Amino acid sequence: MCGILFTTSNKTSEFIQCFDTLSNRGPDESNVIFHDNFTMGHTRLAIVNPASNSQPIKHGEWRLVFNGEIYNNMDANTILINLDKYGPLETPKHLDGVFAYVLYNVSTNEFYAARDAIGVVPLYTGFTGKHRWFASELKALKFCEEVKIVKPGFIYSSKQRAFKKFTSDYPIPTMSTHLLITTKNILTMAVKKRLPTVPWGVFLSGGLDSSIIAGILTTIKLPKEYPTIHTFTIGLEGSPDVEMARKQSAFIGKRCDTIHHEYTYTVQEGIDLLEQTIYAIETYDVTTVRASVPQLMLAAIIKKHGIKVMLSGEGSDELFGGYLYNKFAPTPLALHEECVRKMNDLHYYDCCRTNKTCASVGIECRVPFLDKAFVHYAMSINPTYKMSDKMMEKQVLREAFQDVLHPNIYNRTKAQFSDAVGSKWIDGLKNYAEKKYKNLNHEYTYQPPQTKEALMYRDIFHGCFPIGEKTCKYEHNTVACSSSTAHGWSKFESDPSARSIGT
């Protein structure tokens, strides 16, 4: 991933101070355009055509800064091709990929800013006086009086002075034939198109989703430049994830050349990383913080191996109703509506975690389950086939990819990432917060923290981003990442973990 920054202000020193905060997102190159009416900059992590493709890009009267991956044509020029063909407001509809970008016309002084439909790539906006800003991360808007998150699937038009939704609603879920074959074909294609020609690897948690991604790689042609599958996992000593990832790596190692990298950490090492993690991910959501600490730790290790791109399994649980609480869904329609809610909010949680933990150390993370075609397909499946009240969650996925899964993983039920790395991690965080605070007194009126652990994360966040609290989403009335609506399906204990549900 790269970093982008744009403003209608021409205050050079102010811009540079903000721009410097994005250096980790693009360690290979940085460039800025200074203009009387705007300033835009780009920090680059060179993945596609490393020797070229510098930004900002000049295209006739247009100037472009872009972050993400476009799979129509593998680079930012696809945006410009569609710009010429469809115009600025229609362009994002025709992009197959994940993105955040800003376009500026030097003749008309109009500009446009867009974010992909799922929100895989972050984008924020703010104001300093009358000047508008857009940035890849919250920390780059340090001088803004007001900051907001740009909602996924929206484009801003300075001409209309408004955000406009460019995405359609999810399809009516009726598909019920050829599910296994179609699931396998579309997801395999999504993995294929995300394989780079730079050093790459796979986050292998030992759960179903990342194991499927690793398994698919054994069935397709790998890049000739880097044909070995490097898998990475992390957990506390003796954690379930570490054991299961080891088994899956050995299983796929019988089919192709693999190297498995396994790391452990201690609770104290994780606690010591809390402030750095929250600064990186820019959120105070409890589950996201819990899971981000070990992922940030692992990302830093992966960077030392020279890896530039990682594949990961985010999005599967939201698309297929994979969280344990979903077995209490009263009807297929209720489950589908919960999947829609979870997909709409995914940018606050797993997309935020995965993108920013990796970007903070100069790694790009790619998520095949959130491929445009696969998302459309998965959300069109009749939700009857996603119900887990009488069968294991994500049964369609299990059966479609059974041949590339270790039997123990095929039969493994869902675990929260932050729990699966080792339950002592969660207990350690709660105990640390209990010792840190004598009571829950605080002055937060927006999404007020309901536990000492949540208060601890909020305090750290507020110290880093005093005006950014409304760019995050935190709910206490949840269990195992449920929405507050789904929390009413049964008598759940409010807890981000899945422990109160059991198996």
The per-residue pLDDT for range 2-50, each reduced to its tens digit, is 999 999 999 999 999 999 999 999 999 999 999 999 999 999 998 877 6
Smallest CA-to-CA distance from 128 within 458, 467, 444, 445 is with 467
Q: How many CB atoms lie under 10 A from the CB of residue 176?
A: 11
**φ, ψ (nearest 5 deg) of residue 107:** -90, -45
What tens digit of pLDDT does each residue of 279-302 get?
A: 999 999 999 999 999 999 999 999
Specify whether the CB–CB gap between 176 and 382 falls below 8 A. Answer: yes
Report how far residue 364's alpha carbon sits from residue 358's, in angstroms, rounded to the nearest whole number: 6
* Percent of the residues in the chain that have a pLDDT greater than 70, as a whole number: 96
Mean pLDDT value of segment 467-488: 90
What is the residue extent of each domain of the chain? 3-165, 179-489
- Residue 53 pLDDT greater than 60, yes or no: yes
Mean pLDDT value of segment 379-398: 96
Report how far residue 346's alpha carbon sits from residue 340's, in angstroms, rounded to the nearest whole number: 10
The two tokens of residue 264 are 């452990």
Burial of 493 by CB count in 10 Å (0-12 exposed, 13-18 middle, 19+ buried)?
Answer: exposed
* Percent of the residues in the chain that have a pLDDT greater than 90, as a whole number: 88
Per the prediction, the chain carries an average pLDDT of 94
- Residue 133 pLDDT greater than 90, yes or no: yes
Specify whether the CB–CB gap between 414 and 322 falls below 8 A. Answer: yes
**φ, ψ (nearest 5 deg) of residue 94:** -100, 10
Q: What is the tally of helices (H) and strands (E) in the chain?
A: 17, 17
Query: Tokens 């208060």, residue?
Result: 455
Instruction: Find the angle CA(483)-CA(137)-CA(355) to the nearest 5 degrees.
Output: 60
- Residue 76 pLDDT greater than 90, yes or no: no
Task: Measure CA of the first residue to CA of the last residue in the chain; give whole Å.
Answer: 37
What tens digit of pLDDT does each residue of 200-216 get?
A: 999 999 999 999 999 99
Residue 1's alpha-carbon distances to 4, 216, 303, 316, 327, in angstroms, are 10, 23, 13, 21, 36
Q: How many CB atoms lie under 10 A from the CB of residue 206?
A: 27
What tens digit of pLDDT does each residue of 179-202 get?
A: 999 999 999 999 999 999 999 999
Please tell me the pTM assigned to this model.
Answer: 0.96
Query: Tokens 């991933």, residue?
Result: 1
Report how far residue 317's alpha carbon sits from residue 240's, in angstroms, rounded to the nearest whole number: 19
Specify whether the CB–CB gap between 348 and 286 falls below 8 A. Answer: no
Q: Which pLDDT belongs to residue 479?
A: 82
Q: Which pLDDT belongs to residue 174?
A: 95
Mean pLDDT value of segment 142-158: 97
> Residue 332: what residue type?
P
- Under DSSP, is residue 388 helix (H, G, I), strand (E, B) or coil? coil
What tens digit of pLDDT does each residue of 368-381 get?
A: 999 999 999 999 99
The two tokens of residue 320 are 């297929």
**φ, ψ (nearest 5 deg) of residue 188:** -60, -45
| CATH class of this structure's domain 179-489 | alpha beta
> Residue 216: what residue type?
I
Query: What count of Cα atoms within 13 Å lies in the side-chain half-sphere of residue 351?
Result: 29
What tens digit of pLDDT does each residue of 411-467 get?
A: 988 765 555 666 899 999 999 999 999 999 999 999 999 999 999 999 999 999 999
Catalytic residue, chosen from 2, 339, 351, 481, is 2
Rg (CA), the chain: 22
Phi-psi region of 30 (alpha: psi -120 to 50; beta: other; left: phi over 0): beta
Strand order in the sheet with 39-44: 29-34, 39-44, 3-7, 131-135, 124-128, 146-149
Report how far residue 106's alpha carbon sits from residue 336's, in angstroms, rounded to the nearest whole number: 45
What tens digit of pLDDT does each residue of 236-253 get?
A: 998 888 999 999 999 999
Specify whether the CB–CB gap between 500 and 426 falls below 8 A. Answer: no
Burial of 178 by CB count in 10 Å (0-12 exposed, 13-18 middle, 19+ buried)?
Answer: exposed
Q: Which pLDDT belongs to residue 51?
A: 60
Question: Is 339 in the active site?
Answer: no
Strand pairing partners for 262? 233
Report how far residue 171's alpha carbon sits from residue 164's, in angstroms, rounded to the nearest whole number: 20
Q: Which pLDDT belongs to residue 385?
A: 97
Task: Tell me which of 218-232, 344-358, 468-482 is least confident.
Answer: 468-482
Run of H or E residues at 215: helix 208-217
Mean pLDDT value of segment 387-413: 95
3-state secondary structure 266-280: CHHHHHHCHHHHHHH
Smallest CA-to-CA distance from 319 within 335, 338, 337, 339 is with 339
Q: How confident is the model at residue 492 (pLDDT cuts 50, 70, 90)?
A: confident
Smallest CA-to-CA distance from 371 within 288, 311, 281 is with 311
Q: Which residues, 6+ apart, have CB-to-CB distance to 54 below 8 Å? A: 29, 31, 44
Q: Which pLDDT belongs to residue 301?
A: 98
Run of H or E residues at 63: strand 62-70
Strand order in the sheet with 57-59: 57-59, 62-70, 97-105, 111-115, 154-157, 162-165
- Residue 500 pLDDT greater than 60, yes or no: no
What tens digit of pLDDT does each residue of 89-112 get?
A: 999 999 999 999 999 999 999 999
Mean pLDDT value of segment 146-165: 97
Instruction: Find the angle CA(293)-CA(413)-CA(117) to the nearest 5 degrees.
Output: 60
CATH architecture assignment, domain 3-165: 4-Layer Sandwich (3.60)
Q: How confident is the model at residue 70 (pLDDT cuts 50, 70, 90)?
A: very high
> Residue 35: what residue type?
H
